[in-house]
Structure 1
Amino acid sequence: MTTEAAPALPVVATKRERPRRRKTKTPGDWVILGLAVLVAILIAFPFLLILINSFKSPADYNTSGPLALPTQLYFDGIVAFWERVDFPEKLWNSIYISGLVALFAVIISVLNAFAIGIGRVRGRTWIIVLFLLANLLPQEALLYPLYYMFREIGLYNNPWSVIIIFTVIQSAFGTYLLSSVYGTFPKEVLEAAALDGASRWHILWRIIVPISRPTLSVLLIFFFIWTWNEFLIPLTFLVSNANQTVPVAISVLQGDRLMDVTTTSASALLGVIPTLVFFLIFQRTLTRGITAGAVK
């Protein structure tokens, strides 16, 4: 008695075994890629120009121009700027002011946004519009009233005057942003926490802040960098050499006759390096914070 062999089942490749087809790039993709590379080169060109001229001697700069590479490394420009402005003191002033502004602005933004976005105060929309308009005011319009106010209370030429000003300015933007975020917060989570006996304070610091931590991290990084790069208000309110920040120290020395192009480039390089290091340290935090809002 013979048994017929069972017909062989067709082998179906699983999803992992199937070869992935590479997506062919269209001409439009290549155009977008080329434009992105061009924009990246244009953005990086000023930094590369500063980097090249920071290590040139004045004679080398006068001979070869700003675009040529240095024939030999020249560090006297960096050393001269470091010693002339007492760069560690200016660096600490910028870190101190920017760090406190970023911390205070985030805390105030959270408290304001909690009251507006979740507390549902009356006139919520108009309050958010006022915070938005506060960010549109030019700093030049604020100089005289702020100067008069801080001079009367004895905080002129004091780092705390700049800290207070930028805390208010940055928290206005933070309040506008977080109010929109907290306005879409799930009510079920808040109602469940209230039924469990959680107070508003515990709801804020135990539920809302941990969930919105990626957004708060992005705000903290942006507030620090924005405050670091500010020039006009620190120049106006910090007239003493001991209280000046890095951008102010760089600009003040550019009018000195002893300064040359290579030393000015060295000063700009020293001013950029701290923010670049800060950005590289918190790059992962910034990336997570930006992408966290895209995925629920």
Structure 2
Amino acid sequence: MTTATLHRPARRRRRDPVRHVVLVVLSVLALITLVPFVLVLLNAFKAPADYSQNGPLGLPQSLFFKGISDFWIRVDFGEKLVNSTVIAGSVAVLAVLVSILSAYALGIGRVRGRLWIIAIFLLANLMPQEALVYPLYYMAKEVDLYDTRLAVVIIFTAIQSAFGTYLLSSVLSTFPREVLDAAYVDGASRWQVLWRVVVPMSWPTLSVLMVFFFIWTWNEFFIPLVMLISSDNQTVPVALGILRGQRLMDATTTSAAALLGILPAVVFFLVFQRTLRRGIAVGAIK
């Protein structure tokens, strides 16, 4: 028996307390994160009288669905849900498409000045939306796209693809050259290499980007608030913000509105959590 074998149990004993501490800390943080969601869920199905009597921390005496139905009818939530889904889904697909095309040129094509171009994409992604909103508003007015969902799709496709290009160009710069050279030897063109080699091998990363682009765009508020003034075109976060600003809802209806607002994004995240896990695992292995 070697010396390393003798010291292995001692090392495990020393590591176990650290693992337990990390697990406890992560569990506490997870509980703290879930507290607001639990409160929203409790109060969304609570009658106003029940809320006044027992407060926000009390359990509902009976399930009260009128707050959800009233909010759904008041803001035409089905229409807002369709608007958010169309905008977020379109941005997720288009931003990934633009990102992979740009990153393919920068990461594999190795165009001149690629580092400066990537730096520009990074700086564009770091620019606050408050600095962008007036130029975007002015340009949308000039091309007759103001107060249209297409304008928001174009804006967020550009914003999200800036981050996607920055990330994917770093990933594709380490793409195995042997695979690319073998494809070129077999007679594949650059487009065939992109769609038949690069995209399938990079699909875990692309799918993770697509999920995050959808969730990020779904939660956007400021630019849609400025660009979408008609009720027919507004997204879910904008409808929630405007109605709350008008002080037309009590506490339980507000909780019902918050529940309806976050539920689609949570469902989308849960449906694609396996995709996220697979993509993160592949990235860790690389």
TM-score band w.r.t. shorter chain: over 0.9
SS in 1 for 2:245: coil
* Corresponding residue of 2:238: 248
Larger Rg computed on CA atoms: 1
* Corresponding residue of 2:262: 272
SS in 2 for 1:26: helix
1:63 to 34, 53, 69: 53
Partner Cα distance (2:22, 2:285) in 1: 26
* Corresponding residue of 1:144: 134
Partner Cα distance (1:193, 1:256) in 2: 60
Partner Cα distance (1:203, 1:34) in 2: 47
User: Are 2:191 and 1:196 equivalent residues in the alignment?
Assistant: no
* Corresponding residue of 2:80: 90
User: Are 2:197 and 1:207 equivalent residues in the alignment?
Assistant: yes
Partner Cα distance (2:176, 2:23) in 1: 39
1:283 to 268, 273, 276: 273
Partner Cα distance (2:62, 2:279) in 1: 43
User: Are 2:119 and 1:129 equivalent residues in the alignment?
Assistant: yes
* Corresponding residue of 1:177: 167
Deviation at 1:256?
A: 3.1
RMSD after superposition:
1.3
Partner Cα distance (1:258, 1:194) in 2: 64
TM-score, length of structure 2 as denominator length: 0.94
Residue identity matched to 1:162 = V
* Corresponding residue of 2:36: 46
* Corresponding residue of 2:215: 225
1:34 to 24, 27, 47: 24
Deviation at 1:80?
A: 0.4
Unpaired runs of 5+ residues, structure 2, are 1-11
Residue identity matched to 1:232 = F
Cα displacement string for residues 208-228 of structure 1 (whole angstroms, at most 9, x for unaligned residues) = 000000000000000000000
Number of equivalent positions: 275
SS in 2 for 1:242: coil
Partner Cα distance (1:73, 1:188) in 2: 62
Unpaired runs of 5+ residues, structure 1, are 1-22
User: Are 2:57 and 1:99 equivalent residues in the alignment?
Assistant: no
Cα displacement string for residues 147-188 of structure 1 (whole angstroms, at most 9, x for unaligned residues) = 011011100000011000000000000000000011011111
Residue identity matched to 2:156 = F
Deviation at 1:96?
A: 0.1
User: Are 2:248 and 1:258 equivalent residues in the alignment?
Assistant: yes
Residue identity matched to 1:270 = L
* Corresponding residue of 2:6: none
Structure-to-structure mapping, 1:1-40, within 5 angstroms: 26-40=16-30
User: When you count helix as a share of all residues, which structure comes out higher?
Assistant: 2
Deviates more, 1:127-136 or 1:24-33: 24-33
Residue identity matched to 2:277 = T
